[in-house]
Amino acid sequence: MPLRDVEGQDRALEALRRALVGQRLHHAYLFAGPEGVGKGLAAQGLAEALLCQRPQDDGDACGACGSCRRSAQRQHPDLHIVERRKKGKTDERERQIKIDQVRELQRSLGFKSFEGGRRVVLIFEPEKMNPATANALLKTLEEPGPDTHFALISAESHRLLPTVISRCQRVRFRPLDRALVARKLTELAELEPEAAHLLAGLAEGSIGKGLTLRGSALLEQREAIISRIDDPDGPRRVPQLLDYAEGLARPDRRAGLPLVFHLLRTWYRDLLLVHEGFGDDALVHRDLAERLRSRAPALSGPAVLERLTLLNATEAAIFDRNANARLSMESLVLRLAGAVEGSR
């Protein structure tokens, strides 16, 4: 995909085009930004532009020559891809990029390019390297071969080694405009405009996240989640709240738990906006605007912020520190519903 076909990232793409036209290319770029906003597509476009046999006047790839076609299919001999390997024949991937993958890359870059021109290395999720692997990559970034260009594509660049970041020129990719995400979801997922706009708000500027949410049952569960957890009558419904928390924490529902946290965060975020006097267009759950305005007087701004902090802390405890999911969710649900002291 040429750079011109990447939507919604004009500032980042313009910086790349200027570098291509002026032949002022850095040897290593860090494409940093949220998941699903076009970083990978832009990296692919940069690779095509660098390897293109008939580059355009603006530095972009022609998109039609043999090199462009092979690059688009990841079959160009001078295009090297480093990413987490798949587990067998499934779509599931290994947890980390392995050090032997970096060493294999180093061996490949030790030879001349196959077609006598540039070589491009795309590294997806470099934050998924352990320190030893990252340090091995650092050596390659410090001593790149002639006409060798790297693009590291990361949604969590803060997890990279500072020494790796310092060797790269950062290109920032921002969340996409909600209207653009809604339009793409309408096209790709064949959604009605109102549903697409809601998903776009939940996706927080990410087409990729929007498609993931479309494939989940989150929209169908939204009413139940909000009604049961953010419940003014929570103090009188403790047994039911505990049962619901236990259901959310079941092992077979663990994969969907981050979406529950995300949904609740957007709900409380909207409550904050209502407190600050924002209009309906600023809300993620704009179809529930009347309900949000009705709920807001019962929760002060500090109380909403307390719930947001609690959500983040509980999610981190479960997924980063392997806390007991059932106990954590029971505590969370009771406190969000104001059924224990200190949460009202």
Cα 9 from Cα 45, distance rounded (Å): 13
Backbone phi and psi for residue 234, each to the nearest 5 degrees, phi listed first: -50, -45
Cα 259 from Cα 243, distance rounded (Å): 19
Residues 47, 71 contacting (CB under 8 angstroms): yes
Cα 52 from Cα 284, distance rounded (Å): 42
Backbone phi and psi for residue 210, each to the nearest 5 degrees, phi listed first: -60, -40
Residues 78, 48 contacting (CB under 8 angstroms): no
The residues, any chain, with a CB within 8 Å of residue 248's CB and separated by 6 or more, are 257, 260, 329, 333
Placement of tokens 């969907």 in the chain: 256
| One-letter amino acid for residue 198 of the chain | L
Tallying the residues shown for the chain, one arrives at 344
Backbone phi and psi for residue 229, each to the nearest 5 degrees, phi listed first: -95, -45
Residues 58, 51 contacting (CB under 8 angstroms): no
pLDDT of 193 strictly over 90: no
Q: What is the mean pLDDT of the chain?
A: 91
Walk across the sheet containing 28-32 and list its strands. Answer: 79-82, 119-124, 148-154, 28-32, 169-172
Q: What percent of the chain is modeled with pLDDT above 90?
A: 69
pLDDT of 59 strictly over 90: yes
* Residue 99 vs residue 229, higher pLDDT: 99
Confidence of residue 151 (pLDDT cuts 50, 70, 90): very high
Tell me the average pLDDT across 78-103: 91
C-alpha dihedral, 13 to 15 to 17 to 23, nearest 10° = -150
**Domains detected in the chain:** 3-172 (3.40.50.300), 216-336 (1.20.272)
Cα 156 from Cα 231, distance rounded (Å): 34
Spatial CA neighbour of 209 closest among 326, 35, 78 = 35
Residues 31, 173 contacting (CB under 8 angstroms): yes
Name the pTM for this structure.
0.82
Reported as a single tens digit per residue, the pLDDT across 106-137 is 999 988 888 878 999 999 999 999 999 999 99
Residues 256, 216 contacting (CB under 8 angstroms): yes
Cα 157 from Cα 93, distance rounded (Å): 20
Reported as a single tens digit per residue, the pLDDT across 230-272 is 877 767 788 888 999 999 999 998 888 998 999 999 999 999 9
Cα 177 from Cα 11, distance rounded (Å): 13
Ranges of beta strands (E only) in 113-168 are 119-124, 148-154
Confidence of residue 338 (pLDDT cuts 50, 70, 90): confident
Question: What pLDDT sits at residue 344?
Answer: 43
Cα 267 from Cα 286, distance rounded (Å): 10
Tell me the average pLDDT across 17-35: 94
* Residue 211 vs residue 125, higher pLDDT: 125
Cα 136 from Cα 255, distance rounded (Å): 33
Question: What pLDDT sits at residue 341?
Answer: 56
Reported as a single tens digit per residue, the pLDDT across 265-306 is 999 999 999 999 999 989 999 889 999 999 999 899 999 999
Spatial CA neighbour of 68 closest among 88, 81, 56, 53 = 53
pLDDT of 91 strictly over 70: yes
Per the structure block, which two tokens stand in for 279?
């209009």
Placement of tokens 């002022």 in the chain: 24
Task: Kindly tell me the sign of the dihedral angle through the C-alpha atoms of 330, 335, 336, 339.
Answer: positive
pLDDT of 40 strictly over 80: yes
